[in-house]
Structure formats: C-alpha cells, structure tokens
Amino acid sequence: MKDFLKELRAGIDLFWKGLTGGIGAVVKGITSFSQDNFNKFENTKSTKYFSRKRKQLVKTLREWGLNYRIWLVVVGLIVAAEATLFWASRVGIYINALALAGLAALAVISDKSRKVAISASIIPVANMVVASVMPKSIIGSTVILYSVILLLSLIYRYMFTLEYPELKTALKLKGYGYGLPIMIVTGEVVGAIAYLFLRHHYPFVGYSWPLIALAAVAFAFTEEMLLRGLIQQQGEIIFRPAMAAIATTILYVFLTLNHSTWLTFPVALIMGGVLSFTYYKRKNIILTFTINATAKLIYIGLVVSFVLKK
C-alpha cells in the first residue's frame, strides 16, 4: 500500500511538473515569439512606413475634400450666374455680381485657389461689361464679350506664368507634323457635327461671312486662352486634371447657352469635351486652338455654302 502511495505521489509530482512546465514553456514560448516577432516592429522601418502611408492617405483625403469644395464653388458660381442670366435676366445680373464677389472673396481668402478663382472671375466681369454697354446687335455683344475676355485672359496668363518654370509641353517639329493634321481632321469632324445640329441657328445672319470667319479665329483663340490656358491649367494644379477638364467642359456648355435653340447643348458638350480632353492629354494650347478654329471655320463655311446661299 505504501509503495502504491509512493508511486502515486511520484506520478502526481511528475504530472504537475510536466503540466506547469508545459504551460510555462508555452507562455514563455508565446512571450518570446511575440517579443521576437511583434514588439520589434514597433519602431522598425516597416511600421514607420505604414504609419507614414496612413498619414499621407488622411492628408490626401482632406486635400481632396478641400479641392472638391473649391471646384464646386468656382464651377457652381459661374454656372449659377450663366443659368440665371439665361432664364431670368433681372435676377441673373444680381447672381452674376454675386458670383464675381464670391470668386473675388475666394481669391482673397484662399492662397491655394487664388489663381483659379481670379481666372474664373473673368467671365462675370465680361458679362457685366456687356450688360453695361448693352449693344444693339448680337455681333456687337459677342465682340465686346470676347474682347474683354481676351484682354483679361492675356493679362492674367502673362501674370500667372511669370513665376513658372518653362513647361516642357511644347511639341517638337515632328510632334506638330503629326499632331496638327490630326487636330485639323478632329476639328473638321466637330464642325460637321455642329453643322448637322445648328445649320438653321447660325447667329450671324446678314453679316459679311469673310469677316465672321476672321472673327471666328479670334474667338477660338479667346476661348482657348480663357478655358484651357487659364482655368484648366490653373485647375490642374489644384484639382485632379480630369476634374479640371470636366470643369472647363461644363463652363463651355453654360457659356454657349442660347435662347434660340437647345441644340447648342449637345454641340457644346461634344466640342468642350474634345477640347478639354485634348488639353488634358497634350497640355498644348496650339493643338486645342487648331481644333476650335477649324471647327468654327468648317461650321461657318458649311452654313454659308449650303444654307445661306439657298
């Protein structure tokens, strides 16, 4: 019996030692494993890398939020001004003045959005000049509108680009050799589409067509200076480039709204989209100017040849 009890006690001791030893070994093993594998990550390159990435992501999201707000304010003010001028003139002139005040305030408050806001404020200023002078004919209002836009666009483009390093967007001779013919063909296609939609809504009936054709080239240059040369270029610095392209397309659509027909809407959407996309891809105003001028000349040429001569 005594032997049995002795054997039993020895067995329990052994079991206990084994159990405690096993548990201890497991705990020790887990601790040492965690120390070896987890704790050492706390200040290693990889944890710093992930921490930095997380901070960058948060910063980027905050910037996107701010940038989209700026984008919405700039585009929203211009669209509101143009739309209300179109639908209710008496209210529109107040909204136009409000848009100018809002954009100027944005330019004063925000360093980041100053250049975009000032570039966009050219549109309400030009509207105010035309509304003040109030010319009798459509060609008069169009010429004054374009003249003010061109003058201010050239001044601001000169001022904004003074501090910039020389951009490497100019094409070489070979690039122009391939690029310009493609742009001319694109412009011809856009002009033909415009003719299909707007052949019975030519706005300059009764005026000398060579003079209008000459003016159309200047109009195309003005549009490119303002929309691509200023707003899209400055917008690409703040917003994402695609958002800047969408903004200029929306502005182009609303700037060409016409009382006589709704068909200007699809034409402006196609033309604005093509021009903005070309600038988005190539960052070259000469190419977009070629498309714009060709499209206008083809439209005028087709209207004069097939509609006005009947």
Partner 1 sequence: MFFHFPLERILDLRQTVLLLNTVLLIAALIVVELVYSEAKPKKRKELKYFFPLFLVLTGLLIYAFYVQRSVL
**How far is 92 from 88, CA to CA, in rounded Å?**
6
Token reading at 163: 């501090």
Determine if 210 is a binding residue for partner 1 (CB under 8 A). Answer: no
Euclidean distance between the first and the last CA atom of the chain, given in angstroms as a whole number: 132
Binding-site string for partner 1 from residue 224 to residue 263, where x marks contact by CB under 8 A and - marks none: -------------------------------xxxxx----
Residue number with CB closer to partner 1 (85 or 247): 85
Q: Which of 264, 288, 290, 294 binds partner 1 (CB under 8 A)?
A: 264
Q: Which of 125, 180, 217, 218 binds partner 1 (CB under 8 A)?
A: 125
**How far is 240 from 287, CA to CA, in rounded Å?**
21
Binding-site string for partner 1 from residue 188 to residue 207, where x marks contact by CB under 8 A and - marks none: ------x---x----x----
Amino acid code (one letter) for 247: A
Determine if 219 is a binding residue for partner 1 (CB under 8 A). Answer: yes
Residue number with CB closer to partner 1 (72 or 105): 105
Span near partner 1 by CB under 8 A; candidates 28-36, 99-107, 171-179, 229-237 = 99-107
Determine if 67 is a binding residue for partner 1 (CB under 8 A). Answer: no
**How far is 4 from 6, CA to CA, in rounded Å?**
5
Q: Please report, for residues 2, 109, 271, 292, 298, the alpha-carbon distance to residue 186 in angstroms, rounded to integers and kept in the order given.
A: 108, 41, 10, 9, 11
Shortest Å, Cβ 45 to partner 1 = 39
**How far is 248 from 69, CA to CA, in rounded Å?**
16
Determine if 130 is a binding residue for partner 1 (CB under 8 A). Answer: yes
CB 253 within 8 A of CB 274: no
